[in-house]
Structure 1
Amino acid sequence: MPDPPPVLTDDESDVAERLSADVDMLATQIGDRNVVRNEALTAARRYVEQRFDAMGYACAAQLYQVGDDEFANIEVERAGRRRDAQMVIVGAHYDTERGVPGANDNATGIAGLLAIAGAFAESDPQVTVRFVAFANEERPYFQTEGMGSWVYAARCRERDEQIAGMIALDTVGYYTSRRDVQRYPPVVGWSHPRVGNYMGLLSNWRSRGWTRRVHGLFRAHSEFPSDRVIIPCVVPRIGWSDDWSFWRFGYRALCVTDTAFLRYRYYHTIEDTADKIDIPRMAQMIVGLRRVVAELIGASIS
């Protein structure tokens, strides 16, 4: 039996409405979107661009080739007044595993990215912030040079761009109070929540300071349950999203997630559909994360 919905503020209700529409468009109307269904992948890209455009951002596409196929990362930016300050990057991937609609993985991440970006479309931040939708996080490109985030992070390093930290949103829409759902890798599970009702922040050891900072701000600005896990790279599957690419180029990065396959039994299946997503709780989490980004970049939420 699903958990009863929480009581939302007006702001959270507005965010929930937009999240629901974005998840429905990507997972239900566009659906399976990847190199095998390149037309659908392009449709997802165009949808993200249209949403950014409607907010008033100027989209920049980073085009790249893998074999005979062309892909694109979509970037928007709000330049900061402090040109000497290290920028903040928030990103999510818009592709899916082959053959699945990808509501949680990762229509929720893109919907969250758009909701956060929309809050700063008219802001004048002290610190530069970029919002990036990445191609090709999923197989066959996962943890290869064909990942959109790899291509993007490589260009950041080539340009010697100074980044305070990156936040990847991946699989952020499933929350439950059931005690038999949440799992962990054996070496980390004993000290973490047994109920899967929280937002997780996962990072490698090098990014621990960045992760503690983001988590501390989240706890200061939101009552939504949260937990952080800082894992040595020897643990299998650490870096299961676009944060991994930034690590490879020496940047600090973390993944915001509902812990994906460690909680969500529909992960990478045809049952990963929009009706599984807990939109109200996701909205609460995203509103909290918007406040974190506002603190990180020194901006007001519009």
Structure 2
Amino acid sequence: MGFKNILKPTKKKLIFFVGFLFIAIVLFVSGEKKDRTVQTSPVPADSTQVKKHLVALTQTPQFRNHKNVDQLNAIADYIHKTFKTYSDSTGFQEYKVDGQSYKNVIGSFGTENSKRIIIGAHYDVCGDQQGADDNATGVTALLELARMLKGQKLNYRIDLVAYTLEEPPYFRTENMGSYIHAKYLKDNHIDVYGMASVEMIGYFKDEKGSQSFPVGILSWIYGDKGDFITLVKKFSGAGPFVGNFIDQFKDTNQIKTETFPAPGFVHGVDFSDHLNYWEFDFPALMITDTSFFRNKNYHKSTDTLETLDIQRMTKVIDAIFLSIIHLK
């Protein structure tokens, strides 16, 4: 997840206004929570495979940041090899930055369909650290989804895209891998139903006080325990894909899930690759454990494999998979 900017202090009246506005919106959007049966996946996510991919992504000779291009290429090759095992088609999207070549990796399923869904996650890290939650968890989701999607009858073409250069110094620039990919889709008039960014899905805490928010008053709605996954969408004009995906995700009942509809000025809502799809007017959302609002290892050397909750992360992958195969 990209760089956490320091925002200027907001006037007290605006804080209270935004807080109460969120209460009204979230109560309206969420409505009454009903008991649901847990959906059974025809191909469940495998925690052993999840752990294997997490190890491969984090236990590397060099850190997978923009300076270590050879390491990034090695990770890209690992992703490509895994995609190729399962997908209908696999390829690299290469581009140059400052004389160096960088690669997005794409694995496609249901290629007989014209309209497509993008499920994306970045594989680079910020600085010298493992980046276990940020964002080995998101890339691992793509790798496991590839195995799960093989042979499935799909209503849409599914493109799993592993991006490079999401992190600083390229965050919010045209050098982000997701910017390159989203622009390609726009320039080529490709029919995109929507995009989901998988951004940090492995960190959960059940202790009180383990969850914070961009507006503190939101703890009245969501509680202060970091025990849920969040689906972040635009405040308005999100598009039918986003609403349908959220409905399907919640209906799986795999994991406690909250929806966060937020205006763009709220701190953190566009801190991932979905921001570039918003830039090109594609419907998009982010699937996240809320990043630095919960995980204090964010962009630190302490973001390691040992801090992850693999069992709950596996449930998130199951929910994404079930959402994809049930989308109409």
TM-score, normalising length: structure 2: 0.82
CA apart distance, 1:113: 1.1
Matched, 1:178 2:207: yes
Q: CA deviation at 1:192?
A: 2.3
Larger CA Rg, structure 1 vs 2 = 2
Partner of 1:42: 73
1:5 maps to none
Instruction: Report which stretch shifted further, 97-106 or 186-195.
Output: 186-195
Cα drift, residue 236 of structure 1? 2.9
Residue 213 of structure 1: how far off its partner (Å)? 2.0
Matched with 2:305 is: 274
Q: Which residue of 1 aligns with 2:3?
A: none
User: Which of 180, 184, 192 lines up with 2:222 in the alignment?
Assistant: 192
- Alignment gaps of 5+ in structure 2: 1-39
Structure 2 distance, partners of 1:181, 1:14, is 27
- Corresponding position of 2:103: 72
1:284 to 311, 315, 318: 315
Change (3 A) 1:14 1:255: closer
Q: 1:81-92 alignment to 2 at 5 Å?
A: 81-83=112-114, 86-92=115-121
After superposition, residues 1-302 of structure 1 pair within 5 angstroms as: 15-30=46-61, 32-83=63-114, 86-186=115-215, 189=218, 190-205=220-235, 206-207=237-238, 209-296=240-327
Question: Number of aligned pairs?
Answer: 287
Greater mean deviation of Cα atoms: 206-215 or 138-147: 206-215
Go from structure 1 to structure 2 and tell me whether the alpha carbon gap of 1:26 and 1:223 turns closer, same or farther (over 3 Å shift). Answer: closer
Identity %: 26
Q: Contact 1:106–1:170 at 8 Å: present in 2 too?
A: yes
1:255 maps to amino acid = M
Partner of 1:4: none
The separation in 2 between residues aligned to 1:106 and 1:12, in whole angstroms, is: 24
Report the aligned-residue RMSD: 2.0
Gapped runs of 5+ residues in structure 1? 1-8
CA contact (8 A) 2:72 2:124 kept: yes
Shift of residue 57 of structure 1?
A: 4.2
Task: Report if aligned partners of 2:254, 2:318 keep a CA contact under 8 Å in 1.
Answer: no
**1:12, 1:283 within 8 Å by CA — same for their partners in 2?**
no
Q: Taking structure 1 as the reference length, what is the TM-score of the superposition?
A: 0.89
Distance 1:45 1:82, change over 3 A: closer
Look up the equivalent residue of 1:232 and give its one-letter code: P
Looking at structure 2, the residues matched to 89 and 211 of structure 1 have their Cα atoms a distance apart, in angstroms, of 12
Residue 290 of structure 1: how far off its partner (Å): 0.7
Partner of 2:21: none
Summarize deviations over 1:15-56 as a string: whole Å, max 9, x none.
111111111111123552021111211111111011112225
Q: SS at 1:59's partner residue?
A: strand
Distance in 2 between residues matched to 1:211 and 1:188, nearest whole Å: 25
SS in 2 for 1:207: coil
Checking the alignment, whether the CA contact within 8 Å between 1:31 and 1:102 is kept in structure 2 is: no
* Kept in 1: contact 2:58–2:305 (CA 8 A): yes
